[in-house]
Amino acid sequence: MTPPGQPKKRKLIDGGLITLCIILCLSGGAVWIKFGPQVFWSSLLTDLGFAAMLLPKVIGGVLLAVALGYVLPRERIMALAGPESGVRGLAVAMLAGAIFPGGPAVTFSLTAGLMASGADLAAGVAMVSGWVLLSANRTLIWELSFLPSHFVLVRVLLTLPVPILLGLAIRHMAKRRVAAE
Amino acid sequence: MNILIGTILIWAGALWALSRVRRDHASELRTVWQISLDTFLFMLPRLILGLLSAGFLALLLPEEFVQRYLGDNAGFGGLLVAAVFGALTPGGPFVAFAIGASAIKAGATLGAVAAYVTAWCIYSILRIMSYEVPMLGGTFTRVRLLYSLPVPILLGLLAQAVM
């Protein structure tokens, strides 16, 4: 099988990490000055403890996100999202966007490929929206690490229909435009 | 407790997916471990720095301001403020989620944070300008952004009602 679009090996130190270091130094320094060293250390230790408690979840999330990309047959799934595929096609496009791992370069080229093989703008938007709103990678690895589990669950469940609804709205408007001409 | 349940559920999923990989693509298993390790090493420093920053920022965020504009009484206006902030937040997921976490600590409602996170997901300017427009074109991007306009507020309202 073709390897799913995994991100290439990333640099361990990049602009994001440096930005984060700067934010940490500024906010930590401000806390030290405003509230004194005691509050600084207590906040630091509490959050380090929290990070340690999160680690098992984070490791599980990484494994799940990476393995998921290998479990699903990508070609077969993409074929289901082709032209005239109705609501099911929109749902498949959304799921493909949400589940296949990889950064923007991978997802946008998959989307371009999907549309080149005949899918409409609505399916493309459903796919990109599935990725931006529900990316399994981002949700499992980052969102679950920082935000409460029940928040993430509710957000994901509420968001699930959104890419499909966006696709349906775009198809509806396209039909009206054709009818008007 | 919440963390424990989440951890168990995620590990159940991970073990299921790994067993499927082992059954169907045994030769890929090494790659899966390698990519997972790389990803983990990439995110570990970011996770720790992000969580520490979130803790400090939560102390610094003026609680009165957060509760007034993003708290229980902020209502619709609060969701709008959160969505605009989300759309304007630059940087990777660790930045946006760390800010979301500190806002919750400082008293923001989960609905406001849902609007914030959703807006950030949809309108990441850097990603749009450097990938989406060049790869999918201006029309595609315009249509997607236009139709997505009400989404952060609607999801914030729904999340507010549910949580």
Write out B103-151 in H/E/C secondary structure.
HHHCCCCHHHHHHHHHHHHHCCHHHHHHHHHHHHCHHHHHHHHHHHCCH
Residues of A within 8 A of B142 (CB-CB) are none
Number of CB pairs < 8 Å for A and B?
Answer: 236
Full-model pTM: 0.80
The residues near B2 (Cβ < 8 Å, ≥ 6 apart) are: A148, A149, A150
Burial of B146 (C-beta count, 10 Å sphere; 0-12/13-18/19+)? exposed
Are B14 and A121 a contacting pair at CB < 8 A? Answer: no
Residues of B within 8 A of A104 (CB-CB) are 127, 130-132
**Going residue by residue through chain A (181 aa), what tens digit of pLDDT does each one get?**
334 444 445 667 777 788 788 889 999 999 999 999 999 999 999 989 988 888 888 888 888 878 877 877 667 777 777 666 788 899 999 998 998 777 787 788 888 888 877 788 999 999 999 999 999 888 988 898 889 888 999 999 999 999 999 999 999 998 888 888 7
- A168 vs chain B: nearest CA distance in angstroms? 11
ipTM summary value: 0.80
Residues of A within 8 A of B130 (CB-CB) are 104
The residues near B29 (Cβ < 8 Å, ≥ 6 apart) are: B18, B21, B22
Rounded to whole angstroms, the Cα distance separating A33 from A36 reads 6
Sequence spans of domains, chain A: 72-180
Amino acid at A64: L
Rg (CA), chain A: 21
Tokens coding A66: 């990476």
Identify the CA nearest to B152 among candidates A70, A95, A162, A25: A162
Sequence spans of domains, chain B: 1-42, 61-162
